[in-house]
Homo-oligomer: A and B are copies of this chain.
Amino acid sequence: MSHNIIIAQSGGPTAVINSSVYGAVKEALNNKYIEHVYAGINGIQGILNENIFDFKYETEENIELLKNTPASILGSCRYHLRDYKEDDEDYIKIFNIFKKYNIKCFIYIGGNDSMDTVKKLSEYGKHINSSVCIMGTPKTIDNDLFGIDHCPGFGSAAKYIATSVMELAQDANVYDNNIITIVEVMGRNAGWLAAASAIARLGNSEAPDLIYLPEVEFSFEKFEKDVRSIYCKKGKVFIVVSEGIKTSDGNYVSNFTDNNNVDSFGHSQLGGVANVLRNFLSTRVEKRIKTIEFGILQRCASHCASQTDINEAVLVGREAVKYALNGKSGYMVSLKRISNNPYKCEIELVDIKKVANYEKKIPLEWINEERNFVTKEYLQYTLPLIQGEFKNCSNNGLPMYSQLNKITIREKV
């Protein structure tokens, strides 16, 4: 008897999250025991609402183009399942839908919260003796997922950040007057992305000079000293900062304004940490300050994706299906680095209980003594992940994206 499979995505998008959909869909379509490859639209919410479509009715071209289509093509959600012991309503609904559609495997592609969903559903499945295999497939630009060497999505975001910082550094050198550049990078609790800017230095870039990460306490006094020291030498300072840096009392620097801070330095309530630091420096070191926020661009810039990252994203999607069809459930498909030179990763399964709800930060040994840059260990770790330029499918000078029809089962009926 044939079985079906269902795939969904959750959490914030990445440039390569759809590469994992590609890997999973291709693997499932090639399996003779699988008849329907379903997708839930907008994550677990789409499954709950039977908002489901069948990849059978999508073209080969649109499936191929998934590899280069940024931002969760299946839609996303931030839906938190309650503990089934307290409230099993959602669980009953989901497993009834699994039954209704003869689902053998559920593949959930996402980050921390999504792995929590995988954990809860697989535990409930065990509890009711369900045969549905539930597997997590990792993605996050933040690279803060536990139990994996590095997370698909991070390499492409790192490549975009390093490349853009190289370009901005070129731009900052154009005029001979003094200038401070402050670049704000995503990362609420982990600084992997901001640190990736350091790779620009391997490309013979002078920038960045200083990097501030959420892993270490931020001190305004030390910051001023750091900036002043470089400013006196070069007249130009290039700073990269994680959005989530905090002072020793645990306050986000981005929240420092005139109103809530005794050391009142902000002129006005500007959004973001870069603007807070601009206000701070402008009266102390130099008025000419440029701020740049990569914002959403860093999580969707598929035109600057890393081929290594795409390959690995495809791989974890494919392997999730393979393992689920072999009866594995309650695991995340993980990458284990076997060697760094030549770079090689192997697939391993990690118990989902060891993944969900933990956050991986940059080891403190990978941050320099001055706490304002990363060490060569960080660079050795990250550099292999940005290798390879993806050859865009392009049309009319623009990238081509997958245009799935997503005709839901209900619409079909």
Contacts and interface: CB of A to CB of B under 8 A. Distances in A.
Contacts of A304: 303-304
Scoring A268, A395, A398 by chain B CB atoms within 10 A of each residue's CB, the highest score goes to A398
Interface of A: 13, 42, 45, 69-73, 75-78, 159, 162-164, 166-168, 170-171, 173-176, 199-200, 202-204, 268-271, 275, 290, 292-293, 295-297, 299-304, 306, 383, 386-389, 392, 394-401, 403
A394 B304 CA distance: 12
Copies of this chain, whole number:
2
B76 A174 contact: yes
A171 B296 contact: yes
A340 to B, nearest CB: 14
> Nearest 3 pairs between A and B by C-beta?
A203-B398, A71-B170, A386-B397
Given A71-B174, A75-B175, A166 B296 contact: no
A387 B77 CA distance: 36
A394 B42 CA distance: 37
A75 B78 CA distance: 48
A300 B202 contact: no
A159 B297 contact: no
Contact of A300 (B167, B176, B383): B167
B296 A290 contact: yes
B164 A401 contact: no
Contacts of A164: 297, 301
25 contacts: A42-B175, A42-B176, A70-B171, A71-B170, A75-B174, A75-B176, A76-B174, A76-B175, A77-B175, A77-B176, A164-B301, A168-B296, A170-B401, A171-B299, A203-B395, A268-B269, A268-B270, A270-B271, A297-B297, A303-B304, A304-B304, A306-B397, A386-B397, A387-B396, A387-B397
Given A176-B75, A387-B396, A171 B300 contact: yes
Contacts of A166: 398-399, 401
A389 B133 CA distance: 43
A71 B175 CA distance: 10
Nearest to A295: B292
Contacts of A386: 397-398
Contacts of A301: 164, 167
A271 B271 CA distance: 9
B401 A171 contact: no
B72 A168 contact: no
Contacts of A202: 396, 398
